[in-house]
Amino acid sequence: MVENTQDLQEGEDARPGLALRLRTQIHPLALGAVAALASVPAGVPPWQAAIGYGVFAAGLLFWPTSRRAARKRAEKKAAKSALPDFAIIETLDMPTIVFDRETQIVRQNAAARSLVGAYPERAALSARIRSPVILDLVARVVARGITESVEYSERVPSERWHEVRVAPVATAAEPGKRLFVLTFRDLTEARRMDRMRTDFVANASHELRTPLASLMGFIETMQGPARNDEAARTRFFGIMLEQAQRMARLIDDLLSLSRLEMRAHVAPEGEVDLGRTVTHVVDTLKPMAKDLGVEIALTLPAEPLVVTGDVDELIQVFSNLIENACKYGQTGRRVEVTVADTEAEGAHVTVKDFGPGIAKEHVPRLTERFYRVDVETSRAKKGTGLGLAIVKHILARHRARLVVRSTPGEGSAFTVKFGRAESGSNTKTKELYK
């Protein structure tokens, strides 16, 4: 609303004084002067030409109708400059409401309509905004005329935070007709990120603390009561090695995640043959599957299916999904891995198991860091709770999507979709990760 401050000065200058009349009549005055000068060579005596021009100019400047016209023009200009430019607030994506001293709505933009609902014309601000925090702020700013802001949060329908600001508008309008602007700055995303960061540090510390505490316990036992018990020492060393390995896995996964975050905005440029990559992963995991009593069945496309990507990262994705299917779907005893390019799904890799499946409420949260359906099962299966978070980050970088379908009691299918092939066998990944 800086524009209005500027307009205020122009408005004061717009009284219909002589200077203004001179300015508005400058063209006819100049034309008259040219005509008077031209009449001299045509034989009109100069004094007559001068008197004639003087009468013409005085008429133009002091005739009542021309004065009135000039005043009207000046008033129109002043009125226009006192009006805030509502077209501007309509372009803002920040919810913005303009109201007057009586806290009646003068204007709201589309963003405000979708945040608080549409106000009927001249409705009171309190008709939609019920929060005492915001209404108190409005009352204070109307009374004092000084910009102020408060933080406001609501829990229903979903948790949201806003910085609410009320500012008086500087216009040429009389004090009684003063306008005020109420804006909402959305802080929800920033707050959510803050909370995620704090939760993440707390979770990571907790995950590392547990094996560390166990290691320290065993060391103390071996220094004390089990000092001379050879059999106990051998058993304890085995457990200590497991705990140290668990810490190492966790640190590896945390480092993977942070590396991926650093490269999140750089799209991979290599070419990856999906069939060959998945075959390699299946071959590597076969011994583990055999130990678990799970058979992996692989279906490949007739033609090579190539996508743009980073081969090491995609190996990590498929390893995670196939390993999870073998571990958590162990009771199904069979895992089906399919690489295909279809009209409906584009180039994709599906890993299907016939295990216990995943209840509906867990599915949207599986890719959150440290989220597990069952913490003890995950720990027993050497999980860190970070596998699917890593998968999500890698796929986001590849502009690919992970789709999870699961029916409790029947099993789960995790599909990585790379989007439609654009030409030949080279699939360009286009769809954004959701």
Residue 296 touching ligand ADP (CB under 6 A): no
Identify residues 176-205 at the interface with ligand ADP (CB under 6 A): none
Residue 211 touching ligand ADP (CB under 6 A): no
Residue 318 touching ligand ADP (CB under 6 A): no
The beta strand positions in 244-378, using DSSP E, are 271-273, 295-299, 306-308, 334-342, 346-353
Return the number of the residue (108 or 324) whose C-beta is nearest ligand ADP. Answer: 324
**Angle 78-83-85 (CA atoms, 0-180°, nearest 5)?**
130
Q: Looking at this protein, which amino acid is placed at residue 18?
A: L
Output the smallest distance, CB 280 to ligand ADP, in A.
20
- For ligand ADP (CB under 6 A), the number of binding residues is 21
Task: Evaluate the omega torsion of the peptide bond into residue 157 and state whether it is cis, within 30 degrees of 0.
Answer: yes
Residue pair 347/421 in contact (Cβ under 8 Å)? The answer is yes
Return the number of the residue (259 or 365) whose C-beta is nearest ligand ADP. Answer: 365
Residue pair 320/332 in contact (Cβ under 8 Å)? The answer is no
Residue 336 touching ligand ADP (CB under 6 A): no
3-class DSSP assignment, residue 97? strand
Return the number of the residue (166 or 254) whose C-beta is nearest ligand ADP. Answer: 254
* Strand bridging mode 295-299 / 271-273: unpaired
Q: In what order do the strands lie in the sheet with 306-308?
A: 271-273, 306-308, 426-427, 421-423
Helix intervals (H) in 26-183: 26-39, 46-62, 64-82, 86-91, 110-116, 132-144
Rule CB under 6 A: choose which of 119, 180, 218, 328 binds ligand ADP: 328
Residue 412 touching ligand ADP (CB under 6 A): yes
Return the number of the residue (274 or 388) whose C-beta is nearest ligand ADP. Answer: 388
Residue 332 touching ligand ADP (CB under 6 A): no
- Return the HEC string of 370-389: CCCCCHHHHHHCCCCCCHHH
Q: Which H or E run contains 231? A: helix 230-262
Residue 172 touching ligand ADP (CB under 6 A): no
Return the number of the residue (381 or 428) whose C-beta is nearest ligand ADP. Answer: 381
Residue 4 touching ligand ADP (CB under 6 A): no
Return the number of the residue (93 or 376) whose C-beta is nearest ligand ADP. Answer: 376
Output the smallest distance, CB 360 to ligand ADP, in A.
13
Residue pair 84/179 in contact (Cβ under 8 Å)? The answer is yes
Return the number of the residue (162 or 393) whose C-beta is nearest ligand ADP. Answer: 393
Output the smallest distance, CB 390 to ligand ADP, in A.
8
Output the smallest distance, CB 405 to ligand ADP, in A.
11
Return the number of the residue (33 or 373) whose C-beta is nearest ligand ADP. Answer: 373
Q: Give me the helix-helix angle, 64-82 and 2-12, nearest 10°.
A: 160
Identify residues 352-391 at the interface with ligand ADP (CB under 6 A): 353, 355, 358, 366, 372-374, 378, 383-389
Residue pair 144/165 in contact (Cβ under 8 Å)? The answer is no
218 contacts: CB under 8 Å, gap ≥ 6:
236, 239, 240, 243
Q: Which H or E run contains 300? A: none
Residue 247 touching ligand ADP (CB under 6 A): no
Output the smallest distance, CB 412 to ligand ADP, in A.
4
Residue 325 touching ligand ADP (CB under 6 A): yes
Return the number of the residue (60 or 251) whose C-beta is nearest ligand ADP. Answer: 251
Residue 326 touching ligand ADP (CB under 6 A): no
Q: Which residues sit at the interface with ligand ADP, rule CB under 6 A?
A: 320, 324-325, 328-329, 353, 355, 358, 366, 372-374, 378, 383-389, 412
